[in-house]
Structure 1
Amino acid sequence: MLEFRYLARKRGNCRISTNRRRRTFSVDKFFKISERNSTIGNEIIGGLTTFLAMAYIIAVNPSLLEAAGIPFDAALTATCLGAAVMTVAMGLIANRPIALASGMGINAIVAYTLCLGETAVDWRVAMAIVFLEGIVILVLVLCGLRKAIMDAIPASLRHAIGIGIGLFIAFIGLKGGGLIVPDEATILAFGDLSSPIVLVSLVSILLAVVLQALNVKGGLLISIVVATIVGIPMGVTPLPTEWNFGLDFSAFAAPFQTVPGTDTMAIVQVFLQPALLLFVFSLLMSDFFDTMGTVVAVGEQGKFVDKDGNVEDIQPILAVDSVAAAAGGFFGASSITSFVESTSGAAAGARTGLSNIVVGILFVVFAFFAPVIGMVSASATCGALVVVGYLMLSDVTSIDWSKIEHAFPAFITILGIPLTYSITNGIGFGFISYCIIKVVQGKACEVKPLMWIAAVAFMVMFIVG
C-alpha cells in the first residue's frame, strides 16, 4: 500500500512537471523565443530595460498636456493606459520588441502650437487632429503604400537612418545627463564635472560600458538601477512627495466629445476649420518617417533586419503603429508611436513581443505609482543610451562611401538627425539630396517613383514649416 501511494505521488509530480513544461513551451512557441535565440529571462530583462529608458514619458507627457488644458490625472491615465494597450498589441500581433507611447515632439506641437499657439484650439480638437492623422496613416498602411515607400529607399539610406538614430540616442543621453550643455559662444559645451548630475551620469556610463564589456546579462538595466540609487544621497534622484492611486478617464474619446461653448463634436470642428487639416499633414509626416527610422533602428539591434536594411514582417508592425497614432488621439494622450528607446531593450537581449508584455504591465502598474518612475533621472539612463548609440554605429561599414550618390545622402541623414533633434528632418535631408544627386548625374530614372513623392512631400513640409 505504501509503495502504491509513493508511485502515485511520483506519477502526480511527473504530471505537474509535464504540465509546467507544456505551459513554458506554449509561451516559447507563441512568441518564438527559442527560435530567435532568446530566453524568457532575456525578454523580461529587455522589457524592464526598455521601460526604464522610456519611463520619463509618464512624467513628461501629462505635464505637457496639462499645459494644453487636459487635467493632469486624466493625462496621466491616458498616457499610461494608451502606452500599455498599444505596446501589448505590438507584442501580440507583430511579436517584435518595439514599445510604444506618446511621442515626444508631437505632444509639444499639440500643447504649444495647436492649443497655446496662434491656432489656440481646444485640446479635444487637437486630439481629433491626431486621431485623423492616425486614420490616414492606417489607410496608407492597408493600401501597402507605407511599406512600398520603405522598400523604395536605397539600402545606404536605410543603414544611415539607423546610424543617425544611434547618434541621436547617444546625444539625448549626454544632454539629459548634463555632459553636453548649451553655450552661447560654441553652441554646445562640456558639462560641469563637479555637478552631482554629471557625476551620476558618469557612474551610469562607466557601469554600462564595463558590464557590456563583461557581457553581463541585463547590464544596461543594472546601470540604470544602480545610478538611480547612487543619485539619492547626491540629490539627483528625486524622492516621491505625493502618491496618486486614482485613474481619470475624462480624456478618453476626446475627438468625439463636445467642445465647450459649442454644440459640435471636436472632430467636426476640424473640418469646419480647413486650415487645421495642414496640421494633419504635418503630424502625418512626422509620425510616418519617425516610425520608419525607429523600426529600422530597433530591427538592427533586435536582429530582424537583413543586410540591405529590410525589416522582416514589417506590415503588422506598421499596422499596429498606425492604429496607435489614432488610439493616442482617442485616449487623449497625443499620438502614440514606436519609441526609439526600444533599442535599449533589444540591446539588452529582447527579441520577441514577450518583452512588450512586460513593458505593458509596468505601464499599467505605474499608472497608479507614477512618482516612483519620477525617481529615474536622465542621468541614470544616460549610460544605457550612450552604449546603445555606440552599438548602432556598427552598421556604418554597410554604406558604400566610394559613391557620392550613396555616401552624401547617408552622411547628411546621419548628421541631420541628431543636429536638428528630429528623425524626420534627417530622413528628409537624405531623400531630397539623393534625388538631386541622381538628377545631376543623369540617373533620375534610377530613383523609384515613391522616393520622388516622398522627397516632394518633405520639401513641402520644410517650406510650409
Structure 2
Amino acid sequence: MESFFKAGERGSSVGQEVRAGLTTFLAMAYIIAVNPSLLTSAGIPATAAVTATCLGAGIMTILMGLIANRPLACASGMGVNAVFAFTLTAIAGGDWHAASAVIFIEGVAILILVLCGLREAIMDAIPVSLRHAISVGLGLFIAMIGLADAGIIVADESTMVALGDIFSPTFLVGLISLLVTIVLYAMNVKGSLLLGIIIAVVAGIPLGVTQMPAGIVSGLDFSTFGAPFLTDESGVTGIAKVVTNPTLLVFAFSLMMSDFFDTMGTAMAVAKQGEFLEDDGRVKDIKPILIVDSAAAAVGGLVGASSITTFVESASGAADGGRTGLSSVVAGVLFIVAAFFSPLISVVSSAATCGALVFVGYLMMSEVTEIDWSDLLEGLPAFLIVAGVPLTYSISNGIGFGFIAYVVVAAVTGQLKKVKPLMWVAALAFLVYFLVV
C-alpha cells in the first residue's frame, strides 16, 4: 500500500489518510440527500436517484484515488443538478433520459479535450496572478457555502445578504461546528475538522437539526443506469433527442465550459491544502486528475446522477491531512456503503460541516499575498475573480470575469504580448458562454 500511494513519502500515514477520507466524505455527505431530492423533481424514482448518486460518486472517487493518487473526491455537482432537474428536463419535454444524454455528451466532449492536451494547455496559459486569485476566490466561495448552509448568512431583499437568526437551531449548530473546529485546530488536535463535524452532529440532536434516520438499510435501484440510451414513452432514446435539438446542444456546450473551469479551480484549491500546488500556481500531475474528472461527467450522465465532478469540499480532507489517493479511496468506499445505508448517513446536516468549510476558506486566503495589487494588469483581473466567484455563486463566472478583464486591460495598456494564444481562446470562449447562458 505504501509503495502505491506513497503516504510516508508525502508526510502522511495510513491512519491520517483514513481520517482525511472520512472528513471529506462527511463534508460531502449532504449530496446523498440533496441530489436525489432534485432528481426526483425531474421524474427519477427516489431509490434510483440515491443509488445513482452514491454509486456514481463512490466509483469515480475511488478511480480518482487510484489513477491520480491525490486527495480529491467526486460527486454530482450542485448547480448542474438543478439545471438538470428544472431546465434540461423541461426543454426535453419532461424526459430526464434526454437531460442525462446532455450530461453524457458534455462529459465525452471534455474528455476528448483532455486527451488531446487542450484542457491542460489552457490551464498552463493562465497568468500566475490569476491562478492565485482562483485559489482565494475558491476559499471565499467555500466559506460562503459553509456559512449559508448553517444559516449564518442569509439572502435579504434589502441588503442582498444579511446575518441569519442567531437563535435559529441551524445557526447554533453551524456556530458550534465553527467554534469547535477553531478551538481544536488551535490546540493542535489531529482531525480537528472531522471532530468539529461529529460534535456538531451530536449537538444538533437536542436542537432538532440532526434528524434521526427513518431506517438504517435501503435497497438499490439500477433503473437509471444507461439513461442516455433508454427510451421514453414515445420510444425515442435520450441521446437521439439531444443530437436533433440545437437548444440542448447549446446547453451541452455551456455545461462543458462550466465543468472545464470549475474543476481547474477546485483542483487548485485542494492542491493548496494537499501540498501539491507548485510555486507558480500549477497543480502537480494535473492530467490524470482532469481525465478522471472528465470521465466522471460522462459517467454521471450514463447512470442518471447528473454531472459528477470533483468536489471543492475535498479541500476539507486535504486540510485535515489528506495527501494521497488513499483518502479518496476511503471516501469512495464510504459512498458505496452509503448506497445501502443512506438513511443513516443523511443525519449529517450541511450545518454541521460549516466549521470545516469556513476554516478551509481561511487557510486558502494566504494566496492573496502572492498577487501584485499595484499592477493593474495583475491586480484588477485577479480582483474580479476573487469577488466574482463568491458573489455570483459560480466558479466559472468568476474565472470568466477575470479572463476577459485580463485581455481587455492588456489591450488598453499595450501589454498584449503578455497574453498567450490560448488565453485569447479561453477569454473568447467565456464571452460566448456569457452570451448563450
Match status 1:347 vs 2:341? no
The answer for the alignment partner of 1:411 in structure 2 is: 383
Whether the 8 Å contact between 2:92 and 2:98 is mirrored in structure 1 is: no
**4+ runs deviating over 4 angstroms:** none
**What RMSD over aligned residues (CA atoms) do the two structures have, in Å?**
1.0
The answer for the alignment partner of 2:98 in structure 1 is: 125
Q: Which has the larger radius of gyration?
A: 1
What SS does the corresponding residue of 1:435 show, helix, strand or coil? helix
Partners of 1:287 and 1:189 in 2: how far apart? Answer: 30
Partners of 2:104 and 2:155 in 1: how far apart? Answer: 36
Displacement of 1:244: 4.7
Partners of 2:276 and 2:148 in 1: how far apart? Answer: 30
Q: Which of 183, 203, 208 lines up with 1:230 in the alignment? A: 203
Whether the 8 Å contact between 1:113 and 1:120 is mirrored in structure 2 is: no
Displacement of 1:302: 0.4
Q: Which of 75, 82, 94 lines up with 1:101 in the alignment? A: 75
Partners of 1:201 and 1:387 in 2: how far apart? Answer: 12
**Percent sequence identity over matched residues?**
61
The answer for the alignment partner of 2:31 in structure 1 is: 57
What SS does the corresponding residue of 2:16 show, helix, strand or coil? helix
Q: Which of 217, 220, 231 lines up with 1:258 in the alignment? A: 231
Whether the 8 Å contact between 2:17 and 2:324 is mirrored in structure 1 is: yes
The answer for the alignment partner of 1:314 in structure 2 is: 286
What SS does the corresponding residue of 2:155 show, helix, strand or coil? strand
Match status 1:37 vs 2:11? yes
> Which sits farther off after the overlay, 181-190 or 163-172?
181-190
Displacement of 1:259: 2.6
The answer for the alignment partner of 1:169 in structure 2 is: 142
Displacement of 1:441: 0.8
Partners of 2:344 and 2:391 in 1: how far apart? Answer: 32
Displacement of 1:119: 4.6
Displacement of 1:56: 0.6
Partners of 1:275 and 1:187 in 2: how far apart? Answer: 32
Normalising by structure 2, we get a TM-score of: 0.98
Displacement of 1:316: 0.6
Displacement of 1:241: 2.0
Displacement of 1:385: 0.7
What SS does the corresponding residue of 2:210 show, helix, strand or coil? coil
Partners of 1:140 and 1:199 in 2: how far apart? Answer: 46
The answer for the alignment partner of 1:206 in structure 2 is: 179
The answer for the alignment partner of 2:167 in structure 1 is: 194
Whether the 8 Å contact between 1:431 and 1:454 is mirrored in structure 2 is: yes
The one-letter amino acid paired with 2:155 is P
Partner deviation per Cα, 1:348-404 (whole Å, 9 max, x = no partner): 000000001110111011111111222111221111111010001011111111201
Partners of 1:271 and 1:364 in 2: how far apart? Answer: 33
Partners of 1:410 and 1:68 in 2: how far apart? Answer: 38
> Which sits farther off after the overlay, 308-317 or 189-198?
189-198
The answer for the alignment partner of 2:328 in structure 1 is: 356
Whether the 8 Å contact between 2:300 and 2:308 is mirrored in structure 1 is: yes
The one-letter amino acid paired with 1:399 is I
Partners of 1:121 and 1:203 in 2: how far apart? Answer: 42
Displacement of 1:121: 4.4
Partners of 1:71 and 1:366 in 2: how far apart? Answer: 18
What SS does the corresponding residue of 1:97 show, helix, strand or coil? coil
Displacement of 1:270: 1.1
Structure 2: gaps spanning 5 or more residues:
none
Structure 1: gaps spanning 5 or more residues:
1-26
Partner deviation per Cα, 1:145-193 (whole Å, 9 max, x = no partner): 0000000000010011011010001011111111111222111111122
The answer for the alignment partner of 1:297 in structure 2 is: 269
Normalising by structure 1, we get a TM-score of: 0.93
The answer for the alignment partner of 1:277 in structure 2 is: 249
Match status 1:334 vs 2:306? yes
Whether the 8 Å contact between 1:77 and 1:247 is mirrored in structure 2 is: yes
The answer for the alignment partner of 1:112 in structure 2 is: 86
Partners of 2:215 and 2:354 in 1: how far apart? Answer: 26
The alignment of Structure 1 onto Structure 2 pairs a total of residues equal to 437
Partners of 1:55 and 1:174 in 2: how far apart? Answer: 17
Partners of 1:242 and 1:411 in 2: how far apart? Answer: 48
Displacement of 1:242: 3.7
The answer for the alignment partner of 2:50 in structure 1 is: 76
